[in-house]
Amino acid sequence: MIKPLPIFLREIDDAAWIVHSSATDYPDGWVIEPHSHNKDQLIHAIEGVMVVYTDQCQWTVPPNRGIWMPSGRVHSIRCAGPLKMRSVFIQAGRTSSLPAATTILSISPLLSELIKASVGMKLTPHENSRESRIMSLILDEISLLPAVPLQLPQPADARLRQISAALVAKPDDNSTLHDWSRELGIDERTIQRLFQKETGLTFGQWRQQFRLLLALEMIARGDKVIDIAAQLGYESPSAFTVMFKKQFGKTPSNFFKDQGGK
């Protein structure tokens, strides 16, 4: 079995330490089993893509994003491509300015560099030390990060789960609402209403979000755009590229450029 490559991990029990950081490298396909922490956690991969799961939702997290995981929230992580994970742990409930729910955050270049600098840092008890100032600045930066929509809410209704499972199994499935209405024996408007009620998305929006998040994983693994477009049911690579750029602000071929870390 391939083992993850630990770079640095510091668990601090002393209540005086508000913030501490960790770093671990994982191989492609590695799965971190469901677990939780007694601290709030910002998980940031400086290289690679994480797919993070809870019981009600999944998030796809590229290198220019991070995921905020409140203390006590059970979650698991799957690595899409080799992953360089950097995490910041914060005493739970330390400040009301931090997110209260699991959220994808846009990581600023400054925060990314601060997190990298904090890994392996020898902490001291001096409040005005360089180390404590860096940790305080990390807290300030986290509180200012904008949230971004990279989540895929999971429906609870058994009929919708049948649809979502079919799409996961065959991402290029272009079945319409009418097709699923006939398959499940329920009205098209009922399917649409249930999707919006349970996920906040229409059927079409849910499928599009699923495909784009899956595309991030495929790009991270080095798949070609022409192959990704075909496997995800797009009419052409250009149609896929237009949709991808509309969602993420970059073309698929440029998305991971200049996002390396250390």
The residue assigned the tokens 């501490």 is 20
Integer Cα distance of 164 and 203 in angstroms: 10
CATH 1.10.10.10 fits 5-144, yes or no: no
How far does Cα 206 stand from its chain's mean position?
Answer: 16
pTM: 0.79
Which pLDDT belongs to residue 85? Answer: 94
Which pLDDT belongs to residue 127? Answer: 65
Output the CATH code of domain 155-254: 1.10.10.60
Which pLDDT belongs to residue 210? Answer: 95
Is 102 in contact with 67 (CB distance < 8 Å)? yes
Which pLDDT belongs to residue 11? Answer: 39
Which pLDDT belongs to residue 7? Answer: 37
Nearest alpha carbon to residue 24 among 119, 92, 138, 123: 119
DSSP state of 142: H
List the domain boundaries for the chain.
5-144, 155-254
Q: What is the CA radius of gyration of the chain?
A: 20
pLDDT along the chain (262 residues), means of 10: 41 52 92 94 92 92 91 94 91 77 91 88 68 85 86 93 94 94 94 94 94 91 93 94 89 73 45
Integer Cα distance of 91 and 93 in angstroms: 6
